[in-house]
A and B are shown apart, each in its own frame.
Chain A
């Protein structure tokens, strides 16, 4: 049976398997025995104990006194949040830079190339220090810049007005907005795009209607100066902004190169044929070239996105409470460093593997829709 499953040279393979198992087991056993010798009790029990530290910013409710598990979850959500925004922004920004590099205007393509070279040839950590310094150089909360009424730019963060939701109409509004965002994303994975996009449009209009006609429970929450800090509205801390800027710039240089290579992989004949049909350059790019280039671009983008997610762990160096940073603090306070590290590795693996899975599905759906790879 085993022989059949292992294929050729079963004994050699069995030996390799055995050696690998023994090495892993020996390493594990040594770690445990060393931990025992040093007076450490391994285990994840600390996750269920209250954590006595605060986290600078958290999208989920967390206070000192909540469980370690919750603190770590807050860090994980922060990581996911900054990665998600980073991927979207890097894609948009990188595509523009990549197209700018292909521009016939020499100055534009030169500037784009200069941007790409600087972003690619300096360490990301250094770029993050730069963005942090830039964010901290903004004026203080009391003298915050107000480019628009209700929008504050300060070294305590960027504050924007936000909708305050209460009651059933608030919930309806939230549901409509969510649908308007999620449905178009879902449509990428399926054949029935039209239906989903139509639903998304309808939800968006419903949301706008609720907002405009001022249904009870929906109001505008304007930020204003209170005590030491600005309160109200929705805010982004300088560290979040710096991390997001750094990750976006770094990844967009890669995206730009990928987009450029993708567009250049389309034969010149396509451009000429479209021109002969009377299409403008912009229309050709949008309708003819980019859809075809996608089949080259998408698989390459996957690894850029995965890099971005992993790079978000540099947050720890600039004081943004991402997963690694919170796990560090948890490890320090509880003494369970190895366990915290195990959680970090498991979380990033899960994030990355599920992300690759989703991107592969998208790639496959592109192939099904006729953008098959040669």
Chain B
């Protein structure tokens, strides 16, 4: 069995060829990149990590991403590249999203990660402005007759892996001198199934998240989201350390949405505001080009954002507001002038 027909011959040639293929694959997929923003400019689009949750981030029937955080991402794409479409959304699980951001998988994480001091100082992440104020809640079956988390002593609580939720719920029970059994599950579907199968007595997660998850249960009316919030969950875009300019682009894209609402500028009336004599509005919309030039971006970025996506209120209402299937009230996510927490620094 010697000669051309033997496996060895193609083995050895295959070895050489495979190494070559691998080398080409490596070279072709390797892109030279400096800090994040240079890499984005070179690539021509932003890579953003998102979760999967109707209202916040979900592909529609045509496969186009829609949602609150998706719109935030498109605003950033307008600021950085002048085009809301120049952003690619990559779905990532809670468990993987922060490591993936750190490893350069995305340029920005728009999955609604909680801003915490550990993440900021020890784990090497910068957070942009808080775009959604949330708090951790508890979803329980109505039949259990539970009115507060304090009634859950000894209960089994399901938690999704990789969130700050694991720590919050442990803190909550420790504070109240109670005990619980955690069951950590990564997959959203399994998470819901565990509650339906009565494997756990409660689900815990960001309140907004649970509000949406409740609608995904087979019999949503059998379950209730307890009104109390056991933690503060300020959800913000996250980037890795090492590119301050990129962080500032993210910051001011979000602030532009908030400031537009404060000015009363909407996608419908933004063109009329171009004629407005107020110098701060003229600076904001880039009629007076001094602001944008100083920031190194198109002076009209805020105009484009509002023209394409609307202001913060429009983004909120369109995706998760009272008129949508999700049906959230603005709550803390109102402007500071209306008793909420949203406040943009001045555009000057």
Contacts and interface: CB of A to CB of B under 8 A. Distances in A.
**A–B touching in complex (CB under 8 Å):** yes
Interface of A: 37-41, 52-57, 64-65, 136-137, 140-141, 155-156, 226-229, 231, 238-239, 316-317, 319, 321, 325, 328-329, 331-335, 337
Given A64-B174, A332-B161, A239 B166 contact: no
B329 interface: no
A228 B152 contact: yes
Contacts of A332: 95, 98, 161-162, 166
A231 B154 CA distance: 9
Which 4 A-B residue pairs are closest in the complex by CB-CB distance? A335-B123, A39-B124, A64-B170, A39-B241
B181 A54 contact: yes
B199 interface: yes
Contacts of B154: 226-229, 231
Interface string B96-116: 001100100000000000000
Given A52-B171, A229-B156, 13 more contacts: A37-B241, A38-B102, A38-B241, A53-B166, A54-B180, A56-B183, A64-B174, A229-B154, A319-B185, A332-B98, A332-B162, A333-B167, A334-B118
A329 B166 contact: yes
Nearest to B154: A227
Contact of A156 (B118, B186, B199): B199
Contacts of B98: 332
A155 B123 contact: no
Q: B162, B184, B197 — which one has the most chain A CB atoms within 10 A of its CB?
A: B184
Contacts of B124: 38-40, 335
Given A136-B197, A228-B154, A228-B201, A329 B181 contact: no
A120 B291 CA distance: 66
B211 interface: no
B199 A53 contact: no
A333 B242 CA distance: 22
Contacts of A37: 241-242
Contacts of A239: 183
Interface residues of B, number: 41
A54 B194 contact: no
A260 to B, nearest CB: 29
A55 to B, nearest CB: 7
A159 to B, nearest CB: 13
B103 to A, nearest CB: 9
Nearest to A231: B154
A65 B190 CA distance: 28
A318 to B, nearest CB: 8
A179 to B, nearest CB: 33
Given A52-B171, A136-B199, A335 B182 contact: no
A32 to B, nearest CB: 14
A328 B119 contact: no
A81 B43 CA distance: 49
B198 interface: yes
A136 B181 contact: no
Contacts of B185: 319
A89 to B, nearest CB: 24
B32 to A, nearest CB: 16
Contacts of A52: 167, 170-171
A155 B155 contact: no
Given A56-B182, A64-B174, A155 B152 contact: no
A93 B121 CA distance: 52
Nearest to B155: A228
A53 B182 contact: yes
23 contacts: A38-B240, A39-B123, A40-B102, A40-B123, A52-B171, A54-B173, A136-B193, A155-B199, A156-B156, A156-B199, A227-B154, A227-B155, A228-B154, A228-B155, A228-B201, A229-B154, A317-B186, A328-B161, A328-B162, A331-B99, A333-B118, A335-B122, A337-B102
B170 A136 contact: no
B153 interface: yes
A229 B95 CA distance: 28
B153 A227 contact: yes
B247 to A, nearest CB: 13
Q: B98, B153, B167, B242 — which one has the most chain A CB atoms within 10 A of its CB?
A: B167
A37 B241 CA distance: 8
Contacts of A328: 95, 161-162
A335 B241 contact: no
A245 to B, nearest CB: 16
Contacts of A55: 182
A332 B119 CA distance: 10
B167 to A, nearest CB: 4
Contacts of A228: 144, 152, 154-156, 201
A136 B186 CA distance: 16
Contact of B182 (A54, A137, A334): A54
A332 B166 CA distance: 10
Contacts of B180: 54
A56 B181 CA distance: 5
Nearest to B99: A337
Contacts of B167: 52-53, 333
Contacts of B95: 328, 332
